[in-house]
A and B are shown apart, each in its own frame.
Chain A
Amino acid sequence: MSVAEDRSWTGRLRRRAVGALPPEKLLPDKQPSYVSSWIYVFGVLSLSCLAVIIGSGTILALKGPGWWHFTGVGHFFNSIHLWSVELFFFFMVVHLWGKYWMAAWRGGRARVWITGAVTFLVAIPCALTGYVSQQNFDAQWISTQAKDAMNSAGIGAFFNLLNFGQMYSYHVLLLPSAVVAIVVAHILLVRKHGVVPPFELQATAAKAPEPTATAESVEQETPA
C-alpha cells in the first residue's frame, strides 16, 4: 500500500468500512446456533414486503397517480401495493414485539433497536401520505380529518395534507427514501453486531457456554 493510498480519504473510508463489516459479516453463511425460531423470519418478511411495496409503487409512479383508477392493470398493481403495505406493518410489528421480548438491545445493540423503532415511526407518515394521495373519497376524508392533528401541532404550516402535489412528493420520494435509508442502517447494524445472544439461565449457568467480551469469536460448525 502506497503512502498516498494509506492517507487518502477513500482508502481510510474503505478500511473503516471493511473493518466494521468484513464480507463474512456482511453476507454470512453461518448463524449462531441459537437462531432457531420462527420469530426470526419476521425481519426478512418485513424486508420482502418493503421490496414489493417499492416495486409496485415504482410501477404506479411510472404510469402516474391517476392510472390505477381507470385501468384493470393499474388497479391490480394498486392492490398489490395496498396488501404489501398491510403485510409490511403486520410483520414489522410482530418483529418489533419479538425483539422486545428478546431484549434485543443487549450487548451494545441499542442502535439496532433505535433504527428499527424509527423505521416503524417513519413508515407511518409514509403510509399516511399514500392514503391521502389516492385521489378518491378515502383520501378526501382522511386528509380533512388528519389535518386537525397536524395543524394543532404546527406541522400543518409546512406539511399540508390537503395539498395533493406536496403529499405525492412526500409519498413517492422523500419518506420512502427515509424509510429505506433507516432500514439499510438497521440491517448494517444487525450484520455488524450480530443477532443478540439468549439470556443466560442463572440456575444452570455453569453448564452454559461462557460468552466473554474480550475473546475473539470462535466459530464452530455445529449441526442446525
Chain B
Amino acid sequence: MTRRERRALDTEAYREWNGGYRSYDLVKEASIALGLILALCVVLTILFSSPDEKPSTVQSWARSDPVDFVTTATTELDGSSGTAGYGPPYNHASGGQHVWFIHLQKWLGVSHPVDTAKDFVLAPLRSIAGQPALQAAVTAYESASAKQQTAWTGAYEKNLTKATAGANGSISVPDGGYGPLPTMMSGLLRFAQGGGLDGVLLTSPQFYQTDYTKPLLFMADGSVLSDRAHAEHLLGRQWGIMNETGSYPGQVWLWLYTFWYQIKPFSTSANADILVMGLMGVLSLALVLIPFIPGIRDVPRWIPLYRLIWRDHYRSVYG
C-alpha cells in the first residue's frame, strides 16, 4: 500500500463516527457561555476599566518642547527628516524597503504624496495673514538658491542643538547666518502654539476631514510621540506595538511578529519591516495549510496529548 493510499484510508476511517452518542443541548451551552463571558467582561471592566491616554497635538508639542518642534520643522524644510527621505507611499526620495528583487513599496507607488517643506512649513506660513515681515521672510527663502537655502538650514540646525526655550514659549538660538529662518520659524512656532498648525495640516480640498496622515507624520519625525512611548514602554526594543499604555494587555497576539524585531538579522537590517512581513506571511500560510504539511501535521500523533484530551473516551472503550 502506498503512502497516499494509506492516508486516503486514514481519512475515510475518521470521516464518520459510528460509536455511541450522548445527549447534548447546544442552545443551552451557548446561552450559558454567553452569560459567563458577559459577566466576566463586566467584572474585568469594573476592576480594570480601559486605558485612554490623551493624544498629543502639534499645539501641545510646540508648547511643551519648542526646541524640538523648531528642529523638526527645520528638517522638514531642508528635506532631512524621516518623512522627507521616506520614499513611497509619501514621496520619491528613496525606493523604500525591498527583499531580493521584490520592491513592493516602490512598485505600489506614491499614493499619499507629502512634500514636507511645502506641506509642513511653507504652506502653513503662507496661510498666516496680517504679518508682512513673516511673508517677506518666506518670499526671501523661496527666492534664494538651493545652495543658499541649504547653507541657512545647515547653520540653523547646527546651532539649534544649543538653543534654549524661554518662559514665554519662544526659543533662543545663538547668532549665526540663518537668513530669514529665525523669522520663519518663530512665526511657525507661534502659529503652532496657538493651534493653527493642527488645523492647517488637516486641510484638504473639502470641508470634512478624517485623514491625519500629515500631522501624524510631522509629529512622528519629532520626539513628542517617541518620548511618551518610551515612558509607556512602547518602543520597538520594548516589544513595541503589542504593548498597551499603562499596565494593560495590548495586542499580545502580535508577540511573534514583534519578536522578530528583537533578534538579528531583523534588528539590524534596513529592510527589517519587509523581512518580518515576508516571514510572517510564510508562517501564516503555513498555519492555514498545516493539514497538508508533512511532519507538522504528524506531530499530534507523535506527541500523544490526545490521550489526555480523550482520556474518558479511551478509558470507557479500551479500559
Contacts and interface: CB of A to CB of B under 8 A. Distances in A.
A complexed with B: yes
Interface of A: 27-37, 39, 41, 44-45, 47-49, 51-52, 56, 68-69, 75-76, 78-80, 82-84, 86-87, 89, 93, 98, 100-103, 105-108, 110, 113-114, 117-118, 120-121, 124, 127-128, 131, 134-146, 148-149, 151-154, 156-158, 160, 162-166, 168, 193-201, 204, 207-213, 215, 217-224
A102 B50 contact: no
Contacts of A157: 88-89, 108-109, 111
B210 A69 contact: no
Interface string B38-67: 101110110011111111100000000000
Given A128-B251, A221-B23, A101 B105 contact: no
A103 B297 contact: yes
Interface in B280-319: 284, 287-292, 297, 300-301, 303-306, 309-314, 316-319
B288 A36 contact: no
The B interface is mostly helix, strand or loop, or mixed, namely helix
Interface of B: 10-27, 29-30, 33-34, 36-38, 40-42, 44-45, 48-56, 86, 88-89, 96-97, 104-105, 107-109, 111-112, 210-213, 216-217, 219-220, 225, 228-229, 232, 234, 236, 240-241, 244-245, 248-254, 271, 273-274, 276-278, 284, 287-292, 297, 300-301, 303-306, 309-314, 316-319
Given A29-B26, A199-B306, A87 B37 contact: yes
A82 B27 CA distance: 26
Contacts of B276: 149
Contacts of B88: 151, 157
Contact of A82 (B50, B219, B274, B301): B50
Given A143-B216, A222-B21, A52 B228 contact: no
Given A37-B309, A108-B11, A124-B253, A152 B274 contact: yes
A108 to B, nearest CB: 5
B18 A198 contact: no
Contacts of A135: 55
Main SS at interface, chain A: helix
B318 A204 contact: yes
B4 to A, nearest CB: 15
Given A32-B20, A108-B15, A117 B317 contact: no
